[in-house]
Structures are given as structure tokens and as C-alpha cells.
Amino acid sequence: MLINRNATDESASPPRRKRLKGLHHDVTPIRRLLFGQPIETGRHEDSLLPKSVALPVFASDAISSVAYATQQILLVLGGAGLWMMQFADTYRNLTLGITAAIVLLLAIVVSSYWQTIFAYPKGGGSYIVTRDNLGVTFSLIAGAALLIGYVVTVAVSIASGVQNLLSTPVAATLNIADKPVPVAIFFIALLTFANLRGLKESGLLFATFTYLFVAVAGLMILLGIAGPYLGWEVYEEAVNRTVPSEARHPAQALAGVALIGLTLKAFATGCSAMTGTEAVADGVPAFRHPQPLNAALTLFMMAGILAFLFLGISWLATDLHVVYWEHEGKAAKPVIDQLSGAIFGKHGVGLRSGLYYLMQFSTAAVLFLAANTAFADFPRLSYFMSRDRFLPRQLANLGDKMVYSNGIVLLGALAVVLIVAFDASVDELIPLYAFGVFTAFTMSQSSMVARWFKLKTRGWYIKAAINGFGAVCTGLVLLIVGYEKFLDGAWLVMLAMVLVVLMFRVINAHYEDLRARLTIIGWKPDTRAFSNTVLLLVPSLHKGIFPALRYARSLSPDCRAVHIEIDPADTARLRREWDEYVGEDPPLVILPSTYRSIIAPVLVYLDEVQKERENHTVTVVLPEFVSRKGWHSLLHNKNGLLLRYYLLNKPGVIVSNVRYFLDGRDGSANVQAGEAQEEETP
Amino acid sequence: MLINRNATDESASPPRRKRLKGLHHDVTPIRRLLFGQPIETGRHEDSLLPKSVALPVFASDAISSVAYATQQILLVLGGAGLWMMQFADTYRNLTLGITAAIVLLLAIVVSSYWQTIFAYPKGGGSYIVTRDNLGVTFSLIAGAALLIGYVVTVAVSIASGVQNLLSTPVAATLNIADKPVPVAIFFIALLTFANLRGLKESGLLFATFTYLFVAVAGLMILLGIAGPYLGWEVYEEAVNRTVPSEARHPAQALAGVALIGLTLKAFATGCSAMTGTEAVADGVPAFRHPQPLNAALTLFMMAGILAFLFLGISWLATDLHVVYWEHEGKAAKPVIDQLSGAIFGKHGVGLRSGLYYLMQFSTAAVLFLAANTAFADFPRLSYFMSRDRFLPRQLANLGDKMVYSNGIVLLGALAVVLIVAFDASVDELIPLYAFGVFTAFTMSQSSMVARWFKLKTRGWYIKAAINGFGAVCTGLVLLIVGYEKFLDGAWLVMLAMVLVVLMFRVINAHYEDLRARLTIIGWKPDTRAFSNTVLLLVPSLHKGIFPALRYARSLSPDCRAVHIEIDPADTARLRREWDEYVGEDPPLVILPSTYRSIIAPVLVYLDEVQKERENHTVTVVLPEFVSRKGWHSLLHNKNGLLLRYYLLNKPGVIVSNVRYFLDGRDGSANVQAGEAQEEETP
């Protein structure tokens, strides 16, 4: 036995390593151009994120929700007639009250997740926490809720970002103001692409915009509140206060039970502000060390910024009596646009319109960043669930940029489906949002309670109380959201969750079955005598047959050449040439084809050969030649492909294509003029 | 060496023959359902046609052209203003004169082809006759003209048939009167399908309709001429005599040179009546014996019927002063419809309207039969030209119904392209027609002259004179058609002919190059020492690996197992299991993959192995398992496919997939519960 052990059984030497990298380039030059240099496995540590980068990457989802949370509250209240000036006080009080309630809920959830981060430093997403403490069934529900939630996050954030871009005068000039769907798809494609290039690079790229958004939105809030006292002119005409007649019904909802219903509905809608709070706990391993502390601090900063912006925007919106409703047949102007139009001023060229555009573009940017959060989390959760055999294993493949490429592409595709199905409408997408998010919150919090009861570490009852309070609060909100938003879209999310959980189960059953079928534990390999017959298909004798002939002969002592006879005249010639150029080894077998099929005689003969011996494999060698130009292959029969297809489904049969390169690449071509048949395989 | 010579080297025994037929069914049950039983190679004789069937199959093209020939003459004359009543005499005299001239031309061409049939009893199409006598270049021009002509025949015939169907009141009721394109495509698809089922079956099916058409059209002509004297009422209101104002220009064309031009233009258009005359000579081998005599008699019968119908319809059309022009914004009513509407009567329910519908439907049927002629001839000519290496060899494959299936499908597809491009308009398609047809006529006739000059058999000068006169006449017509119809569409046909001839040349060059590269004449096979290294790719150790392992070991003494290391933890486990279950043979080689690619490390290692020895082939064995259900494969990586793709382009590398059937079909599966890794290839 001739084995060059040295060349094989060692780690990659530096020159081989260099060749590997070079070859990686050669193999997929287009991929390299698009996605940049590959990243070595060992370099994973380098892509860990400092807090300053982790904040925009993981918190932008939560922070950006201020772009639509206030707006959706106003939509519900306005729809009940509260937009009318005589109800201005109720409009303001309800809006601010609901905002404050949501901020309080945020504080509860954050303190609950603070504990989760320290308990699960390797990533404490709802799926993993639930699996550990409440078992598989609940964890699958949490997993389904989260995966669906990430898709909706991308759709809502992109739709809202596009809404804010298209409400600017420049969009009207560019004539794209009423084309949100293609614009949204463009940005989803862009995000998908950026994420395929690697997390860190996109993190640095987007960090700038989050901080810009926080700064400009903060400035807008301060100017909006303090400005009028300092002589800063506010353009109230930028605010929409007229609504179409069909919405002008009197506010019958302002008494008793109806008022409670209205408040709950607005609250349920406003809870969209809470989305994304989960992201930090899920992404702990992406932080620099000490990971839990850095993650917890980031969570805290995020909550603080969110609370400030949310309260500020709700305050300004009610102060200026902003109405969010469609206007003169056009889509509703987003609240951020109305506020920045009023406080900064959207027309002309100057500092104020500059600030207006900065506000709009940074709002859009931070919303796209929010979508980016989902692009970090969806593939990570898919990886966890794939590792647990609940999702296809392809989702666990780390790409050469250390990202889970398949998950990224899947998320982008699903988000595009939602955008198209809901016409990129923020108002129609939002109802899909909160139910999944609060399912995950509740599962996660309840799991933590179960964990403290199990572990009973020092001071466990205080921790259990904190998580328990969180679980009760988010559970209550879940009920409210499920009830108030059922017909608006929550039913769709519930149905999707059921289907996704079923899918998890079916996939898992397949992998478990496979595992059982393939295990070698307690099994003895087959040691019976084994033989292999080689059949070389010979359509005619030409130079391209000889490499295959030599190869076929080397494989087994039992080698036979097989010719399918379509025209007996060809057979006579072949036999003559065979005797002259080849001889007796291997013998030539002629199979007549009564119906001119290439496939059927081979299959019949194959059955006969297989029955000759026990434990017998048949190798079919197909000689084929490779044309020098691609279009040449159009001029040749595709019988080899067809035969291969039929043979692949026969147990005990192995197909080997031996290729003859007509361009002489294999060094065996040797052009000479003369006469030959040129049929190809077989 | 273990060879069971008995089982292999003999003709198909009866039981094997039965199995072949049965298997043919098994392999492609859907094909069988659609196309019927396969036909054995020896049974070709059975599908020869008696004259009574050959006439409709080969002559319907020529006969059916009466449906549009008169009509197109009237279109040209009417366009010059001759539709006006004061020019009725000129209108009639020109129409009848041109018709008579074309019938005379037909007689000349038929007598010329009569000689061709006896000279070429194996099929004397223009391509073969020209190749034999004028050489390759001219034969390619003839071949291109014919192939293009067949495509146009299908398009024109179908369009005209559909025109006659859609002009009936019942089409208006069905609301399809203005949808000729989908209706035409439907009928092309139907014809393609019928022809794929075999020539004889479609011949018998369609024969009925040709004879019906001849009978009903003959009755219409006799009734139209003799009827008025016998008291048969003719509904002149069915005839269109009003034309829109833009066509009401005075007939300035009635003097001197302009009149000659008009006459030539109408003549050129009317020559579309001549198409299809070639078909009989081309199809001699499809006739019963004695083949030439039967074919010649069929040609004579065909010409007689054509002359009678063409003269009769032109007579009736001028007698009733039929105008063929668009009317009240609707497409022009075809002449056959106007005549049968007038002579039989198209409204009400009774004998007369029954005859009208019989006329219309049999006209459509015979036109579809004409298209069918092309479906017999196009594949046959493609076969001849493919055999001569001017067309892809796939066109020479006889299908299991003894028809050239690929040619049939190609013709159907090209005809659909024409129908769509020209909106199924007869008037726009007709100008494409005559140029190609008369090119083929002229080539064929000239070739026969050359042949007589070469052979100088008894009485050759008389035969040469007959063919020479035919050649001069058709050559003159070719010039007239090329000049008068150039801008109407002949330019397109000329361009297509040039491109098709170039294509013939390029294809031929490829096949000749291949022949030179592959010939073994004067060549000695490579007899150097040859070795083969086998690399078995092992992603993890499970039951599915062992059949591949056993197989790989049997192929060569130099066999190595190769593992691509993505995660070193997996490697340690694999090495442990390898030592326990496999041992030292084959040795396990670990290839680290720095960038987690499966492909690159294999390619790098392969290069190293290939350099170990001279004249060295490497076989890569890829174990893969076959899932029990199709959708399961969605749950597995497709790395094997990708690797195969890269390896196929490396000379000296052969890829063998060894498949493990999870459903136990190969008898090796043996389900046991337990723990195993389940990654698949590689």
C-alpha cells in the first residue's frame, strides 16, 4: 500500500494555508468580489462588539420603535373621533398616560431581562431559556413567536423607514412618493447583502446613524418643548389637523366601558414600542468581555434612551395636536415627519430644512438598523434551533464570513413576502407585531421564575419575584393584545405560530429517525465477501473511449464493455474495431434495443448482472467528452444524463463518468486527421 | 476473469424482449399514456401509406392553398381600387387570368417533379437532389429554404384555418372571433402531439377531412355555377362589397406599366397556391410499393384536384364580385366564408346552414392537414441534414414511435413563434411564403437538368428540356416574388436563409473538428502504466459510510479516507470511532478547513495527490444517503452536489457517488435505536 502519510495527516502548513485562501478566491471570484475576504475560524473573537457598537446593533430595534409607537396610538384615538379640537385634553391625557404605562412596562421587562443576561451569559433568548426551564414544547412556541417576530420586525421597520423617506418633499420630486413597495424591497435587499458581508462591518457602518438619530431626535424634542419660550418659530401648518369626513364621527367612545376598550386598544398598539427589548439578552455572546455586564449595561442604556424619546415624542405630538390619518386621498403623514416639519421646517434650503432632512433620513436609517437587529438575531436563533434539530441543518452552516448566511437570506426573503402582501403599509403590518413579541416575553420571564424555584440560589425569592412580576405583566399584555388585535392580524400570527411549531415537530421527527437509522453504536459492519462488476458503455470506438477503458479495467477483474445496438450495421463495425484496437479484455457485450431506447436495455442487463452473485455491486462507467465551447454541448445527445438519472435510483449500482477533455487539458488529446465515429456517451 | 458469456453476447431472447417492452412502460409511464405503444425497429414497413392515405397526408398542403390563394389575389387587386363596380370586368379578367397562369405553372412544376420521383425513389426532396447534382453549397441554400418554408406552411395554414373557423357565426357566439392567436396555438399544439404519436395514425385520422373538403368544395363550386339556372337561391348579401373609405382611391393602376406591376404583384401573391407541390417527391419512401409509381400518381391526382378547386373558386369569387378587405373595423371575411355563406347560407338551422358549417370546418380541417404535411417533411429533412452533420444530431434520433420526435417539437415551437410575431394574420404571413418555396423549386429543377447532362441516359435531352423549362419558369417566378414581395416580408426570409446557411456551416465545422480529434485511425492507444488513488470523503462515521468504504477499498490498493475538519471537536470523535470500527485500512486523512469551506481543502489536497505519480487518476468517492421522502432532501446540505460540480471540471479526477438508501431498498439498512451523527456527504 502506497501512502504518503506526510502529505496528508497534519494541520495545514503555512504555504498550504495560503493556497487555501487563494483557492477560495479562485473557486468563487464573484463571491469574493461581493462579500470580501473570508474570515478564519479562529478569528471569531475579533468580531466581538464593544458596547459603543453593540448599542446601535442590538438596541436600535427598540429605540427606533418611537418612530411608529406614538403614531399608532394616535391612529387608534383619532379613529374614535378624539382628533376633534373639543376633545384635545382627552386626546393628550390618554396619549401621555398610555405612553407612560408602556414606559413603566418597559422598566419591568428590562429589570427582568437584566437577570436573564447574568443567568445566561452564553445567550439568553426566550427559546433557550424556555427550553432549559419549561421544556421542549413551550420552547418551540417561544421559538416560533420569535422567528415570526423577527420577520415582522424587518417588514415593519423597513416600511416605517420608507414611510418617513417618502413623506419628504424630495421624494415627491423624485416621483417615488407613492411607490413604497419597490423602495422597501430595495432596502431589504441591501440589508441582506450587508449582513452576508459580516456582522462587525455592518455594525460600524450603522452605528453612526443610530447616534445621529438619537442626537437629532433629542434636539427636536428639546427645541419643540423649550423653543417657543426662546423665540424659536414653530410652523404649525406642517401639522395635519383635518381628517376626511368619514372619520368625522362624534367621539361616542368617551364614556364608561367603551373608553376602557379604546384605552386598551391604543395601549395594545403602543406596545409595539417594546419590541426589540429581547435582542440584547439574546446576543450576549456577541459582546466583548465581560459579556454579561456589558450586555446588561447596554440594555439599561437602551431602555433609558427609548423612554426619553418615546415620552418626548408623545408629549410633542399631543402638544402640537398632531393627527395621524389619511389626508386628501394621500397616505397619512408619519408623526415624525409632522413634528420635524413643524419644529425644523421642511421647505426652502437652509439650516432648518437641513435639520428636517437630517431627522427624516436618520429616522429611516435607525429603522433600517432595527431591521438589521433582526438580521443578527434571526440567523442566530435559527442556528440554535437547527442545532437542536428543529430546523433544517443548512441554517447551522457558518459561512466564510462567520455569519449564518442561509438564515440571513431566508429572513430577507420572508420579509419581502410580507412587504408585498401588506403593500408596505405600516398601519397594516403593526397588528402582526405585538402578539409574537409578548408571547416570547412571557415565556422567557416564566422560565426564569421556574429556574429560581429550581436552583434556589441565595436571594432566589427576590429574583423570582422580579421575574414573576414581569411574567404577570407581560402575560396580561399578551391577553390584551390577543383580544384587541385579533381581527386586525393577530389571528394570522397565531395561525402561523401553530404551523411553525408543527413544522418544528415534523423536521425533528425526520432527524431523529435518521439518527436511529444511521447509528453505529452496537452495530457490526458487514464483513461478507464483496464483488464489483464494471460495465463500460461503448457507443462507438474513438479516442475518448480509451481513458475510460483503462480506468474501467483497473477497477475490477470483472469488467465488460457494453454496446446498445440501435443499428446492426454499426455493431459489425464496432466489433471489427474492438478486435483490432482492444481485443479480449474487456469482452464486448452487445445489447439489442428493440425500441431504440438507450435506457431500457441497460436496466434489463443490469438486473441480470446483479443477480449473478450475492453482495454484488455494479459500476457503470460512462465515457463522455467535454466540448471546448459551451454551446457545442447543444449539438450532442444528453443520453448520458438521462441514463445517470435512472441508474441513480437503483440500489447497488454506482455510476462513474469518465470525461475526455477535447481541449487537451488532460494531456491525452492528440489531434490527427482521419475518419472516426463521434457519438458520445453512450 | 468471471464472464457469463451466455447471458450477454446474444440477440434479445423472447422473454428479454418482453421485459424490454414492459420496462419501456415502467421507465416512462406518462409517455406511454400520451403516445401509445412503442414500435419495434423492424416494423417500419408496416407504417407505409397506401395512396388513399398518402394523398391527404402529402397533398393537403397544395390542395388547401385554394383557401387563401384566390383571396390573396383579390386583396392585391382590391387594394388597387378594382373592387369598384365599374371595374368589374377588369377585376374578373385579371383574377381568372392570373389563376390560369398559376395552374399552368403548376402543370410545368408537376411534370418536372414527376421525373424527380422516378430518379429519386428514396426521397427526392430539393435538398438531396441539389446536394447530389449541384454540390453542398447550393444544397444548403435549398435546405434552408425548405426548412423555413415548412415553418411558414404551418403558420399560414393554421392561421388560415383559424380565420375560416372564427368567421362563422358560432365563433362570435362563443366570443372567440377576435382571438385568433390562442386558438392557433392550440391547434399547433394538437398537431405536434398527434405527430409525436406516429405518422400513420394521424394520416388515417385526417384523411377523412381532406376528402370531405374536396367533396363539399366541389359541391359548392358546381352549385355556385349551375345553381342559379336550376332555381337555387344565392344569398348575395353574404358577400362583402363595401370597403372603408381609405381604400376607395380611384384605380389609377389600370394603364400601361402600372397595370403590369399590379398583375405581377397579384401573380406573386397567388403563387402561394403552389406551395406543397414538393411534398410528394420528398416523401416517396413513405408510400407503399411500387413507391415511385404510387407517388407519381398521387402527385398527378393532387395537381388535378388543386387546379379544379383553384379555378372554380376564382371563378365563383369574381362571378359574385367578392371583395376581400377589412369591413367596419373588423378583419376581412375569408373568401371561402363569403362564398359558402352566399351559396349555402350561413344563418338559421337547416340543410343549407349545415352545408355552410361543413364547408368552413372542412376548410379548417384541410388547412390543419396542410400544416400536418410540414410535420411529416420538416423532421424528415432535418434527419437528412443532421445525418450530413449540418444540424444537431439530436434531430436524427428516431423516437420509439418511429418518428423524429425532436424535429416535430422544434417545428411546433417555431410555428408558434411566427403565429405570435405576426398576430396569426394570414395577410401578413403570406408574403413570407413564396420566396422560400420557389428557391427550393428552382434548385431542385436545375439539379435535375445537371443530372441529365451528367448521366445522359436514353432520351435524356427530352427529360432535361422538361426540367429545364421548369427551372426557367420557377426561376422567373422567384425573381418576380423576390422583387414584388421584398418589403412585405421576403427580405425577412432572405435574411433568415443566410443565417440558417451560416448555422449549417458552423455546426458542420464542429462535427468535422470532433471527428478529426477522436479518430483512432492510425493511432496507438496509451499503454503507459496507470494508477488510481481512491479518496473516500468521510464527514462522520455512520452506517451509510460503510458501503462506500467497502466499495472504495475494492477499487484500488491506494485508498484513503478524507475528513474535512470544520470543528476540531468532531475530528477527535471521528478518529476514535475510526480506530474502533475501521482501523488502519484505509487510513484517515484530516484536512483542516480554515475558512469552513468543504470544497477548497479537497481541491488543494487533490492537486497534491495527482502530483504523487505520473499517469495518475484520482477517484473521489462521495457517500450520500437517499431519503425516504423527497421533501426530506430539503433538510440536508447539498455540499456533495457542489463538490461534484467543481471536481467534474478537473482532468484526471473521477467522482463516484455511493448511495445509501434509507428505506432499506438496498438490503443494508438495519434500524437500531441509539446515538449517531447524521451529516451527509461530505
In this prediction, residue A228 carries a pLDDT of 83
Residue B592 and residue A523: Cβ atoms within 8 Å?
no
Cα of first residue to Cα of last residue in chain A, in angstroms, is 34
The string of pLDDT tens digits covering residues A625-639 is 777 776 777 767 777
In terms of Cβ atoms closer than 10 Å to its own Cβ (0-12, 13-18, 19+), residue B448 is buried
What lies within 8 Å, CB to CB, of A645 at 6+ separation is: none
Nearest CA in chain B to A635: B392
Q: What is the pLDDT of residues B552-585, one digit of tens each?
A: 999 999 999 999 888 888 889 899 999 988 888 8
Q: How confident is the model at residue A48 (pLDDT cuts 50, 70, 90)?
A: confident
Helices (H), A458-598: 460-484, 491-518, 545-555, 568-581
Nearest by Cα to A614 from B668, B6, B31, B105: B668
| CA–CA distance, B42 with A347 (Å, rounded to integer) | 88
* A18: in domain: no
CB contact under 8 A, B518 and A558: no
Return the exposure string of B383-421: e unless at least 16 CB atoms fall within 10 Å of the residue's CB, then b: bbbbebbbbbbbbbbbbbbbbbbbbbebbbebbbebbee
Write out the H or E segment, with its range, that includes residue B199. helix B199-230
Nearest residue to A12 (alpha-carbon basis) of B675, B307, B595:
B595
The average pLDDT across B652-673 equals: 68
Q: What CATH number should be reported for the domain holding residue A339?
A: 1.20.1740.10
Interatomic CA distance for residues B158 and B364, integer angstroms:
8
B63 domain-assigned: yes
B653 strand-pairing partners: B618
Determine the pLDDT at residue B36.
59
Q: Is the pLDDT of residue B240 over 70?
A: yes
| Residue A327, pLDDT score | 66
Cα–Cα distance for residue pair A653/B658, rounded to 1 Å? 8
Residues contacting residue A387 through CB under 8 Å, at least 6 positions apart: A396
Q: Do B141 and B497 touch, CB atoms closer than 8 A?
A: yes
User: CB–CB of B154/B375 below 8 Å?
Assistant: yes
Contact B595 A554 (CB under 8 A): no
Best of A388, A397, A520 to substitute, by most chain B Cβ atoms within 10 angstroms, is A520
Residues A510, B674: C-beta atoms closer than 8 Å: no
pLDDT of B182-194, one tens digit each?
A: 999 999 999 898 8
| DSSP string of B601-640, one letter each residue | HHHHHHHHHHHHSSSEEEEEEEEEEE-SSGGGGGGS--HH
Choosing from B448, B482, B511, the residue where a domain stops is B511
Q: Are B616 and A373 in contact (CB under 8 A)?
A: no
Three-class HEC string of A609-651: HHHHCCCEEEEEEEEEEECCCHHHHHHCCCHHHHHHHHHHCCC
Based on the fold, state whether residues B338 and B371 are members of the same structural domain. Answer: yes
Q: Please say whether the beta carbons of A340 and A359 come within 8 A.
A: yes
Q: Long-range pairs for A255-259 at CB < 8 Å and ≥24 separation?
A: none
Predicted confidence band of residue A110 (pLDDT cuts 50, 70, 90):
very high
Secondary element (H or E) of residue B148: helix B136-166
Count CB neighbours of B486 within 10 A: 15
Whether B96 has its CB under 8 Å from any CB of chain A: the answer is: no
Better-scored residue on pLDDT, A285 or A96: A96
* A374 and A502 co-located in one domain: yes
Specify if B29 maps to a domain.
no
Rounded to whole angstroms, the Cα distance separating A480 from A362 reads 33
Q: What is the CATH classification number for the domain harbouring A595? A: 3.40.50
The predicted pLDDT at position B626 comes to 79
Q: Which of B3, B637, B674 shows the shortest C-beta gap to A522?
A: B674
Whether residue A231 sits in one domain with residue A196:
yes
User: Which residues, numbered 471 to 530 in chain B, qualify as contacts with chain A under a Cβ-Cβ cut-off of 8 Å?
Assistant: 507, 510-511, 514-523, 525-526, 530
Size of interface A-B (CB pairs under 8 A): 319
SS3 A49: strand
Confidence at B613, pLDDT banded by 50, 70, 90: confident
Question: Rounded to a whole number, what is the distance in Å from the CA of B49 to chain A's nearest CA?
Answer: 21
Please report, for residues A241, A498, A679, B355, B624, the alpha-carbon distance to residue A421 in angstroms, rounded to integers and kept in the order given.
30, 20, 53, 56, 39
Mean pLDDT of A572-591: 89
Q: Look up the ipTM and state it.
A: 0.71
Q: Which of B460, B478, B511 is the last residue of a domain?
A: B511
Please return the burial class of B150, using the count of CB atoms within 10 Å of its CB with bins 0-12, 13-18 and 19+: buried
DSSP output for A399-449: -TTSS-HHHHHHHHHHHHHHHHHTTT-HHHHGGGHHHHHHHHHHHHHHHHH
Of A234-248, B227-241, B549-563, minimum mean pLDDT range? A234-248
Does residue B98 fall inside a structural domain? yes
Same domain, yes or no, for A418 and A295?
yes
- Residue B261's φ and ψ, nearest 5 degrees, are -60, -45
- A220: which 3 cell numbers? 427636536
Cα–Cα distances in angstroms (integers) from residue B476 to residues A548, A616, B435, in the given order: 58, 73, 11
The pLDDT of residue A621 is 92
User: What gap in Å lies between CA A72 and CA A272, rounded to an integer?
Assistant: 9
Contact B213, B365 (CB under 8 A): yes
- On whether both B139 and B235 belong to a single domain, the answer is yes
Distance of CA A412 to the CA centre of its chain: 5
Comparison of pLDDT for B682 and A52, the residue scoring more: A52
- The label of the residue with cell 369598384 reads B84
Partners of A563 in the β-ladder: A590
Q: How many domains does chain A have?
A: 2
Contact A372, A193 (CB under 8 A): no
Residue B104, pLDDT above cutoff 90: yes
Is A618 in the same domain as A498? no
**What digits encode the pLDDT tens for the residues B395-418?**
877 665 556 788 899 999 999 999
Pick from A270-279, A486-495, B114-123, B393-402: least confident? B393-402
Cβ neighbours around B15 below 10 Å, total: 8
Answer yes or no: are the C-beta atoms of B384 and B126 closer than 8 Å: no
Judge if B617 and B588 occupy the same domain: yes
Q: Note whether residue A9 is domain-resident.
A: no
pLDDT of residue A104: 93
Each residue's pLDDT tens digit, A547-577: 899 999 999 999 999 998 888 888 898 999 9
Which residues sit opposite B428 in a β-bridge?
A: none
In angstroms, how far apart are the furthest CA atoms of chain B? 108
Whether A292 and A410 map to the same domain: the answer is: yes
Residues B506 and B578 in one domain: no
3-state secondary structure of A243: coil
Neighbours of A104 (CB within 10 A): 12
CA distances from B273 to B64, B80, B493 (A): 8, 21, 18
The answer to whether A173 contacts chain B (CB < 8 Å) is no
Contact status, residue B123 vs residue B284, Cβ threshold 8 Å: yes
Structural domain includes residue B520: no
From chain A, pick out residues whose CB is under 8 angstroms from the CB of B570.
none
Residues B278 and B351 in one domain: yes
- A74 CB-near residues (< 8 Å, 6+ apart): A95, A317, A322, A323, A324, A335
Select from A525, A550, A603 the Cβ nearest to the Cβ of B581: A525
> Residue B17 falls within a domain, yes or no?
no
Percent of all residues in chain B with a pLDDT value above 90, rounded to a whole number: 29
More confident residue, B630 or B72: B72
Q: Is pLDDT of A390 > 90?
A: yes
Rounded CA-CA distance B112/B129 in Å is 13
Q: Which residues of B touch A564 (CB under 8 A)?
A: none
| Distance of alpha carbon B295 from alpha carbon B54, whole angstroms | 8
Q: Which residues of A touch B7 (CB under 8 A)?
A: 608-609, 612
d(CA B218, CA B222): 6
State the Cα–Cα distance between residues B81 and B131, nearest whole angstrom: 46
* Distant-in-sequence, close-in-space partners of A304: CB < 8 Å, separation ≥ 6: none
Residue A31 in contact with partner chain B when CB distance is under 8 A: no
Return the minimum-mean-pLDDT range out of A46-50, A55-59, A502-506, B453-457.
Answer: A46-50
- When pLDDT is cut at 50, 70 and 90, the band that residue B681 belongs to is very low
Mean per-residue pLDDT over chain A, rounded: 82
Q: What's the pLDDT score for residue B10?
A: 42
Cβ contact A504:A527 at 8 Å = no
* Section A428-435 average pLDDT: 87
Domain with B232 in it: 46-511
Which of B511, B540, B570 finishes a domain?
A: B511
Asked whether residue A23 is domain-assigned, the answer is no
A 369-428 near B (Cβ less than 8 A) = 392-394, 397-400
Structure confidence at residue B41 (pLDDT): 53
Grade residue A9 by pLDDT with cuts at 50, 70 and 90: very low
Those of residues 193-222 in A touching chain B at CB distance below 8 A are none
* For residues B12-27, average pLDDT: 54
- Beta carbons of B504 and B385 less than 8 angstroms apart: yes
Pair A474, A536 in one domain: no
**The most confident of A382-386, B326-330, B428-432, B532-536, by mean pLDDT:** B532-536
Q: Report the pLDDT averaged over residues A14-40.
A: 56
What is the reported pLDDT for A2? 38
Q: What is the pLDDT of residues B333-365, one digit of tens each?
A: 898 998 998 889 888 788 888 999 999 999 999
pLDDT at B322: 86
- The yes-or-no verdict on residue B674 having pLDDT over 60 is no
- State pLDDT tens for residues B479-522: 988 888 888 888 999 999 999 999 999 999 988 988 888 888 87
* Cβ–Cβ gap A648/B625 under 8 Å: no
Mean model confidence pLDDT for chain B = 82
Confidence band (pLDDT; 50, 70, 90) for B56?
Answer: confident
DSSP string spanning B415-445? Answer: HHHHHHHTTT-HHHHGGGHHHHHHHHHHHHH
If you average pLDDT over residues A334-346, what whole number do you get?
89
Model confidence at B319, in pLDDT bands (50, 70, 90)? confident
Which tens digits make up the pLDDT trace of A257-270? 678 888 888 888 88
Check whether residue A557 and residue A444 sit in a common domain: no
Task: Give how far A40 is from chain B: nearest CA, Å.
Answer: 5
Instruction: With a cut of 90, say whether residue A141 has pLDDT above it.
Output: yes
Q: Locate A250 and state its grid cell.
A: 362624534
Residue B590: closest CA among chain A residues belongs to which residue?
A9
Lowest-confidence pick of A65-69, A207-211, A652-656, B328-332: B328-332
Sheet strand arrangement including B616-626: A588-592, A558-565, A531-537, A616-626, A653-661, B653-661, B616-626, B531-537, B558-565, B588-592
Q: Are B533 and B562 in contact (CB under 8 A)?
A: no
Q: Among positive and negative, which fits the CA dihedral A260, A263, A268, A271?
A: negative
Tell me the C-alpha distance between B433 and B151, whole Å: 10
Chain A: residue nearest B531 by CA? A554
